[in-house]
Amino acid sequence: MKTILTGIRSNSVLTLGNYLGALVPMVRLANKHSDEMNVNIFVPDLHSIIADIDGNLQENIVRTIKYYLAAGLKINKNVHIYRQSYVPAHSELCWILNCVATMGETSRMTQYKEKSEGRESVNVGIFDYPILMAADILLYSAEYVPIGEDQFQHIELARNLAMRFNHRFDAEIFTIPLKTTEQIKFMGVSDGIRIRDLLNPEKKMSKSTKAENSKIMLNDAPELAAKKIMSATTDSYGKVKFDMWAQPGISNLLQIEALINDIPLQDVISTWAGETRYGELKKKVAESVKKELTEFQERLNKISNEEVYELFDFGEEYANKIANKKLLEVQKAFKLR
Ligand code: TRP
């Protein structure tokens, strides 16, 4: 059986951008495939500690899984939910892959460059982040790794490490994850989804942006979220058109509308093509966001911590079994065993 694998860091409450760009598409994919594929959804808690954590990490971890459930994730025996640090093979394989990866390729990672730029002191974890991520993927022979556009480079690195390793030992030890172009096809989106900052739509929506009106947090009051949409930056063209370069604000609203209502982006684009009253589009999107957040929060509040811990029990037993088996093959290749 093939494996779909994904994870999302739990350093804070997530934004609507994380929800629409990562969580919801992942949940739809998982529900579509969980009858015939393994679906591994894990919390990369070891990745979390490279940076500051808002609030309590334990609470954040449990909340992240509740997000998936509230977003509609259906659970069956092929769905495995686990915490990275509860599967020690991840750190072990990370070390081994450290000895396969080069400083050059790891230094080229955009995320590392961005996160370390201008800082006096940068922890090694930030540098090593994509190697641990490669271990997360390769331990489970996952071919499908649905993630946001900002992580594509890391997938390419994981592929390169896997191929180099296999070549070095002349054995098919690792399954090579699909190329990012294939990942995009599998996800069924035309491109990486990237929800924009509401005030500065040329940037990605990020929880670390100071301006409250730039971002919608998943725990925002739905009414407030609607207001933020109404005050989103648009442009002076005066005609609705999907054009991320020239009209990023309007394009972002169209994207949000499509994702929330699970309508193909093309359909939303044609519905609104040529509309000259931006206010009408904003009103519609504000309504969609308000409704979605209201329903999402209601579902979220009904999920108990116990429910999540039960999923961890099941998922971590599975994950350790699969991961340890792969790790042993790798250790044997290096004659560590
Ligand atoms: N880097 C991902 C993020 O920032 C999280 C992550 C860690 C991940 N390991 C992964 C995603 C493996 C997919 C597969 O959201």
Please name the residue that has the structure tokens 């409450």: 13
- Would you say the C-alpha torsion 91, 95, 100, 104 has a positive or negative sign? positive
For the domain that residue 40 is a member of, what is the CATH number?
3.40.50.620
38-74: pLDDT as tens digits: 999 999 999 999 999 999 999 999 999 999 999 999 9
Asked whether 47 lines ligand 1 (CB < 6 A), one says yes
Give the active site residue among 66, 204, 284, 326. 204
**Is 194 part of any domain?**
no
- Would you say the C-alpha torsion 150, 152, 153, 157 has a positive or negative sign? positive
Residues 69, 123: one domain?
Answer: yes
Quote the distance between the C-alpha of residue 169 and its chain's center: 32
19, 43, 151, best to mutate for ligand 1 pocket (most atoms within 8 Å of CB): 151
What does pTM read for this prediction?
A: 0.93
- Take atom 6 of ligand 1 and give the residue whose Cα is closest: 7
- 112 token code pair: 């590392």
78-129: pLDDT as tens digits: 999 999 999 999 999 999 999 999 999 999 999 999 999 999 999 999 999 9
Quote the distance between the C-alpha of residue 326 and its chain's center: 24
Q: Where are the alpha helices (H) located in the chain, listed in sequence order? A: 16-18, 24-33, 45-48, 57-70, 89-98, 103-107, 110-116, 124-138, 152-169, 180-187, 222-230, 248-261, 265-272, 278-302, 305-333
Residues 267, 311: one domain?
Answer: no
- 323 token code pair: 């991961």
Number of domains forming the structure of the chain: 2
Residues 216, 294: one domain?
Answer: yes
Give the active site residue among 2, 185, 207, 241. 207
**Is 201 part of any domain?**
no
